[in-house]
Structure 1
Amino acid sequence: MPKPPLDPEVADAAPDDPTVTPYDQQHVVTYMRLLQAEGEGADWREVARIVLHIASEHEPERARIAYQSHLARAKWMTEQGRLLRGAGAS
Structure 2
Amino acid sequence: MRVLDAATEGADWREAVAVIFEIDPEVEPERARRVHDSHLARARWMTEHGYRKLLHGKPL
TM-score over 0.5 (shorter chain):
yes
**Aligned amino acid, residue 89 of structure 1:** L
Distance in 2 between residues matched to 1:54 and 1:88, nearest whole Å = 30
TM-score normalised by the chain length of structure 1: 0.56
Higher relative contact order (CA closer than 8 Å, sequence separation 6+): 1
Q: Give the alignment's Cα RMSD to 1 decimal.
A: 1.8
- For the pair 1:76 / 2:45, whether they are aligned, the reply is yes
- Richer in helix (by share): 2
Report the equivalent of 2:22: 53
What residue ranges of structure 1 are gaps of 5+ in the alignment?
1-31
Report the equivalent of 2:31: 62
What residue ranges of structure 2 are gaps of 5+ in the alignment?
none
Report the equivalent of 2:8: 39
Bigger radius of gyration: 2
Aligned-residue offset at 1:80: 1.1
TM-score normalised by the chain length of structure 2: 0.82
Distance in 1 between residues matched to 2:12 and 2:21, nearest whole Å = 13
Distance in 2 between residues matched to 1:41 and 1:76, nearest whole Å = 19
